[in-house]
Amino acid sequence: MSPHLLQEQASASSEVSGVLSGYTSVHVFSNRAKVEDGYLTSVYSYENATVKRLAGGKYEVTPTTVDYQFKLDLNVPKTGLMLVGLGGNNGSTLAATIFANRLGIQFRTKDGPQNANYYGSVTQSSTLKLGVDENGNDVYAPFNEILPMLHPNDIIIGGWDINSSNLADAMTRSKVLDFDLQRQVAKYMANINPLPSIYYPDFIAANQSDRADNLIEGDSKWDHVERIRQDIQKFKTTNELDKIIVIWTANTERYSHIIPGVNDTSENLVKSIKSSHSEIAPSTIFAVACILDGVPFINGSPQNTFVPGCIELAEKKNSFIGGDDFKSGQTKIKSVLAQFLVDAGIRPVSIASYNHLGNNDGFNLSAPQQFRSKEISKKSVVDDMISSNHILYNDQKGKTIDHCIVIKYLPAVGDAKVAMDEYYSELMLGGHNTISIHNVCEDSLLATPLIIDLAIIAEFFSRVTYKKQDSGDEFAQFYPVLSVLSYWLKAPLTRPGFEPVNGLNKQRTALENLLRALVGLGPQNELRLEERLW
């Protein structure tokens, strides 16, 4: 990491009253931030507006301002990342990626030499606008140079899988990476073996049964919770870790039925686990185990892991959860393009999305119940965009769009998922516009950077606390549903009672502005008055 200097300007003058060195290359001068005892403390004025809808299509708007104080622990802990589904395409690719970057491996492809990198990762390969230079031109810095963040090279990898193959064999089976890279990292991965995992046949496709040779014994679901807790603690102790993050990157499960008295409250959920109720999914078992020990848990698949009782348990234990379903290729484009059309006053009336893929994810999704989980997460990505515009979507024109999702398993294409989308929209005076997109994406090479970012951002926000300025209250963690992770997730989990935000640009802006608030900067400003005024 490059040297860092964060300085607090005590007043409008150039006097510097605080210095922080040894973290990042961005030097921030602000009278709203200071460093004390290893913590960065900042004051932020959150400006918004409350709106009342009045009769006749009128609105009453009242500006609001609330002052908050944020505190960031500047110490980056030694962190372990435990994956559920460690031996799958994503898990083996992630391990290979970290080893390749950590060791500075260069490998040959048919196009020539290739150096290891973290392309596709927001935290490692994107930039964030700081402000403007003396000429009014935008200035950008690496995303991870704003504040001290975990580096993926330092992450210790472990986890569980229903298949016993070591990660070198799993990497070979996945057919994601070029042979020369596999050859060079295999010796580092061969001694990493997944821990036994949970297998409840009713929740994943029957075609996965042949892989299930590495299972936690017994039928007691509460014993399974306790076993997962023991696994996490042992991994933490053995590797001398300060913190653990757990991410589900295993098979898509079917949706769990929400049943009163079973999974609707935290108390009922725990009772149902202890009675080994048939409607408790493996992913919920992992989530509960993590919540009980305050370990952040993120669901990267589309099933409803976080049933109401699970969210309530996270609230009671003040433990971070996040989900659902990695947002990598086709859906990420949809969250941008649909937003563009609606913001442009164009009315999308149908979106037809088709894709075929040949990896094990596609094999599992060939079963109807598992496909249904994916269909729900993919369809929901445009909901908030439609609801944002009552001019285009209303009682007369209709408040929904025709949204068709098709997924087919085609072994020949392997991990190279082929996606085709058609956006059919209504223009003025009865005109129409059709946008067709053909996208071929290497599925695991898009998903793996998301896992990296989710782990890094979850760890980062576990070091952030807040309180209302001058309230006298103790500093508290963010609300347990860590919705700031929404940028990387198809069906963002939100606080009960709040509508999710799916628009990619909105999600990114919220993330950037939170980081800016922590260093004493105001929200991102695109007025560009330097250019527009005399």
Catalytically active residues are: 325, 374, 417, 490
Please give the structure tokens belonging to residue 89: 């395409």
Please give the structure tokens belonging to residue 215: 């299972």
Q: Where are the beta strands (DSSP E) in 150-229?
A: 156-161, 195-196
**79 φ, ψ (degrees, to nearest 5):** -125, 140
Please give the structure tokens belonging to residue 252: 């898509």
CA-wise closest residue to 514 among 506, 526, 502, 522: 522
Cβ–Cβ < 8 Å for 68, 468: yes
> How far is 67 from 64, CA to CA, in rounded Å?
10
**Distance from chain centroid for Cα 112:** 33
Cβ–Cβ < 8 Å for 26, 16: no
Please give the structure tokens belonging to residue 343: 């913001």
C-alpha distances (whole Å) from 283 to each of 91, 197, 213, 266 are 16, 11, 18, 16
Residues, the chain: 534
DSSP for 449-518, written as a single string? HHHHHHHHHHHHHTTEEEEETT--PPPEEPPSB-GGGGGGBSS----TTS-----HHHHHHHHHHHHHHH
Q: Which residues of 153-172 are buried (b: 16+ CB within 10 A; e: fewer)?
A: eebbbbbbbbbbbbbbbbbb
